Chains A and B, each alone.
Chain A
Amino acid sequence: KAGVTQTPRYLIKTRGQQVTLSCSPISGHRSVSWYQQTPGQGLQFLFEYFSETQRNKGNFPGRFSGRQFSNSRSEMNVSTLELGDSALYLCASSLLGTERNIQYFGAGTRLSVL
């Protein structure tokens, strides 16, 4: 099976712009979670989607949003970018059932805000 795929791998934006990141989960996985990784704050949970619904959200401002499509693919959007949004954004997918809480991570999208 193909793993979690995130596109693009790298992005450079300027302050005030908005950005959209994409995540394709492992085939059959219906839960998609997003995390932000920075040297200062480490790995922080952004939100989780399941069946096109946001089930859980971390402590991030409303500029961070996401959605999930009927094929389980997910996108996250950051509007009005700030310098502090520079980070590695990781997507993870998981299966239901006994394996439901094992999350499989993508390689990430590295966002640089100038």
Chain B
Amino acid sequence: AQRVTQPEKLLSVFKGAPVELKCNYSYSGSPELFWYVQYSRQRLQLLLRHISRESIKGFTADLNKGETSFHLKKPFAQEEDSAMYYCALNESEGGYNKLIFGAGTRLAVHP
């Protein structure tokens, strides 16, 4: 079955420290992966997706098909990065949309 695993419920770091939020997936096809973020009192929003290969707010994520991972990284965490982060896999055939979400990791950045 398709699955997304985020092993850490909470990741607590100090400002300026590097951050890595882990995400592993299982999918039989060619995966389409995303990171979504939810800041306090805001709606869920896209942070980045693997096909874009871009850096958003200093975050990057590389798809590693050998390790079936899509870890989210940032070299220097900021307090405003504190939020809930969800890794998601689009289980889509023919362009349909069906996101399979991980359980989420809460990132807390302390001053």
Q: Name the residue of chain B whose CB is nearest to the CB of A45.
A: B98
> Does A101 contact B103, Cβ atoms closer than 8 Å?
no
Stretch in contact with the other chain, from B19-27, B41-49, B69-77: B41-49
Q: In the complex, what's the smallest C-beta–C-beta distance from B47 to chain A, in angstroms?
A: 11
The interface bits of chain B over 42-78 (1 if a CB of A lies within 8 angstroms of the residue's CB, else 0) are 0111100100000000000000000000000000000
- How many residues of B are in contact with the other chain, CB < 8 A? 21
Given known contacts A101-B90, A105-B44, A108-B43, A42 and B104 CB-to-CB distance under 8 angstroms: yes
Count, A-B residue pairs, CB within 8 A: 56
State in angstroms the CA–CA spacing of A72 and B11 once bound together. Answer: 39
Using A42-B103, A90-B44, A108-B43 as known contacts, say yes or no to A102 and B96 having CB atoms under 8 A apart: no
B32, B92, B95 interface centre (most CB from chain A within 10 Å): B95
Q: Is the CB of B96 within 8 A of A103?
A: no
Find out whether the CB atom of A43 lies under 8 angstroms from the CB atom of B86: yes
Cross-chain pairs A/B with CB under 8 angstroms, 28 sampled: A3-B43, A31-B97, A35-B101, A42-B101, A42-B102, A42-B104, A43-B101, A45-B98, A45-B100, A48-B96, A48-B98, A56-B97, A90-B44, A92-B97, A92-B99, A94-B97, A96-B95, A100-B97, A101-B90, A101-B97, A103-B46, A103-B97, A103-B99, A104-B45, A105-B36, A105-B44, A106-B43, A107-B43
**Which 5 pairs across A and B sit closest by C-beta, in order of nearness?**
A43-B101, A105-B44, A42-B103, A107-B43, A56-B98
Interface residues of A (CB under 8 A from B): 3, 31, 33, 35, 42-45, 48, 50, 55-56, 58, 90, 92, 94, 96, 100-108
Residues on B facing A (Cβ under 8 Å): 32, 34, 36, 43-46, 49, 86, 90, 92, 95-104
